Amino acid sequence: MAIPSLSLLFLFTSLPLFSSSPVKDPELVVQDLHRAINVSRRNLKYLSCATGNPIDDCWRCDPNWEKNRRRLADCAIGFGKNAIGGRDGKLYIVTDSSDDDPVNPKPGTLRHAVIQDEPLWIVFAHDMTIQLKEELIMNSFKTIDGRGASVHIAGGPCITIQFVTNIIIHGLHIHDCKQGGNAMVRDSPRHYGWRTTSDGDGVSIFGGSHIWVDHNSLSNCKDGLIDAIYGSTAITISNNHMTHHDKVMLLGHSDSYMKDKNMQVTIAFNHFGKGLIQRMPRCRHGYFHVVNNDYTHWEMYAIGGSANPTINSQGNRFTAPNDIFSKEVTKHEDAPESEWKNWNWRSEGDLMVNGAFFTRSGAGASSSYAKASSLGARPSSHVATITTNAGALNCKKGSRC
């Protein structure tokens, strides 16, 4: 991922830095997580679709999901579990797929919805493809909910979550994203500013917190499919289907950017599918829980990193590609073995298929991290069932999703 111009940080001066609580000890995060899940399940009369996927079991059995859309916000798990998005706001219906003016967007467009100051739960009146002229700069406390329509964001710059908090992105097809920039773009009703050249990510998280990216289909973007950098934290990336891309997911700005030590990301129940090459994810500095994902394709490596990240891989299925590609799951980047052998990279209960192998390192995580899992891993033998519906769902009103 290209390093943005530093001028970028000063262009949106009216936009407040994300307001998140200090990052807790991972063990305390996990304790809070399990308490919150139990309370949420009691309050929601917890459903069970018997999929083994706790997110889907929380809401997908409800035939009235369309009338109970906001229930989704109480189903998050992992480090992004507190991302409520627009749960407490009004419903905003996108009726217009155009994006003619990024400075003065028309009411009824997606851009007009995401820049508003108040919390909003954003839905779509019908199937649509939205080709954005410039990055979609989101404001805090927004949910983009594509359920009930086939919504594609494609062919232009895509979604940017910069210095904001409480965002849910659900049920979208995000693909063929391109670079934008060198243009004025509005980020709130009160402010617009000059954007330098963007990277061309599908979803770019830049200094954001409490973010949940769930049940999207992503492919073929200019840079990353989902990148999180510059001190972003409290993120869950779940139930997504990713295909046909080189550098899939970057988590961490640079080896020298020490604020990313606070980054905590859960990567759960995703299907890393056809045509992928590397970075599923590539990590720096922080703590990354990679749990119950299905890896069926990689050419260079699946999980890699530099700058001493802690990587906890649990209950994943790694199916190595044909012999002309690498069967090693891991890649320790930008460091000699004398250095990376001390990085805490653990594999527990992972299923290795067709010669796949995971190079472990470190003598064991710290006492806090050793106990810290952002959610409980199911056996790797269940991964096919858990991830079978990864990607954007075909939800019909009046029936189970």
Q: Which of 279, 282, 317, 346 is catalytic?
A: 279
The whole-number average pLDDT for the span 317-340 is 93
pTM over 0.85: yes
Q: For 14-87+133-386, give the CATH class.
A: mainly beta
Residue 367 has pLDDT above 70, yes or no: no
Residue 23 has pLDDT above 80, yes or no: no
The reported pLDDT for the residue numbered 8 is: 40
Buried b (16+ CB within 10 A) or exposed e, 103-142: eebeeebbbbbbbbeebbbbbbeeebebebbbbbbbbbbb
Beta-bridge mates of residue 266: 236, 289
Measured in whole angstroms, the distance separating CA 220 from the mean position of its chain's CA atoms is 16
Separation CA 321–CA 271 (nearest Å) = 15
Q: What are the tens digits of pLDDT across the range 207-236? A: 999 999 999 999 999 999 999 999 999 999
H or E element, residue 175: strand 173-175
Q: What are the tens digits of pLDDT across the range 82-123? A: 999 999 999 999 999 999 999 999 999 999 999 999 999 999
The reported pLDDT for the residue numbered 28 is: 54
Q: Model confidence at 334, in pLDDT bands (50, 70, 90)?
A: confident
Q: Nearest CA to 139 among 87, 91, 53, 208?
A: 208
H or E element, residue 211: strand 209-214
Is 279 known to be catalytic? yes
Query: Domain residues of the chain, as ranges?
Result: 14-87+133-386
Which residues does 190 contact at the CB level (< 8 Å), separation at least 6?
14, 117
- DSSP line for 31-83: HHHHHHHHHHHHHTT----SSS-HHHHHHTT-TTTTTTGGGGGG---GGGTT-
Q: Is residue 197 within 8 Å of residue 10, measured between CB atoms?
A: no
Query: Given the DSSP bridges, would you call strands 191-195 and 183-188 parallel, antiparallel or unpaired?
Result: antiparallel
Residue 371 has pLDDT above 70, yes or no: no
The reported pLDDT for the residue numbered 47 is: 57
Q: Tell me which of 2 and 383 has the higher pLDDT.
A: 383
Q: Model confidence at 387, in pLDDT bands (50, 70, 90)?
A: very high
Q: What are the tens digits of pLDDT across the range 268-300? A: 999 999 999 999 999 999 999 999 999 999 999
Q: Is residue 26 within 8 Å of residue 310, measured between CB atoms?
A: no
Least confident of 17-31, 115-129, 161-175: 17-31
